Chain A
């Protein structure tokens, strides 16, 4: 059974640009959550999608957005990149809402220069 797949693995972008990250959850999993991980802040919850609808949102500015497709694949977008957006972005999938155990992808390492 394939795990959670995130693409790309690494990205370098310039301040002011926008970026789109992709996540394919484990087959059969319908809930996808996104996290930002930095050394000082740890894992910070961005948002959760289930059945193509955003069900939960963390405390991030509107520059961070996401969506989920009918096949449960998800994308997140960050517009007007700032240096502080440099981080490891992790996607996690779970079977359904209310299941707290999360299965993570390898992440996308975003560097903003």
Chain B
């Protein structure tokens, strides 16, 4: 069974700090996606990484896919209160690529 483990589970930081959250698996994924979910809302897709070693940047957010395609990280530079939310990673099930496997998420709070 493929699993995605996210760490840390909770993170509370001050505005302006940098942070990294992780999404790890013992299984290979063909791609991984990162979503951000704000309270009372549905997840919003941030990025999809497909190639091992790939790095994608979205303003202050940097996403990296591990060389072996078993893990991914999200680095936020100079965090702002607007970055607060639940960060989720998800990847296609190897046995059925139309079904997504989800991590439990990292809950980030950025304090002014």
Q: Interface majority SS on B: helix, strand, loop or mixed?
A: strand
Please classify how large the interface on chain A is, using the bins under 10, 10 to 19, 20 to 34, 35 or more: 20 to 34
Smallest CB separation, A23 vs chain B (Å): 11
Does the CB pair A42–B102 fall under 8 Å?
A: yes
Q: Which of A6, A98, A103 contacts B97 (CB 8 A)?
A: A98
Taking CB as reference atom, which chain A residue is nearest B47? A101
Smallest CB separation, B56 vs chain A (Å): 14
Q: What is the bound-complex CA distance between A90 and B92, given in angstroms?
A: 18
Does the CB pair B31–A100 fall under 8 Å?
A: yes
Instruction: Report the interface size for chain B: residues with CB under 8 A from the other chain.
Output: 23
Does the CB pair B42–A105 fall under 8 Å?
A: yes
**Does A43 have its Cβ within 8 Å of any Cβ on chain B?**
yes
Report B89-103 residues with CB < 8 Å from chain A CB: 90-92, 96-100, 102-103
Does the CB pair B98–A98 fall under 8 Å?
A: yes
Show the binding face of A for B, using Cβ within 8 Å.
4, 6, 31, 42-43, 45, 48, 55-56, 58, 90, 92, 97-98, 100-107, 109
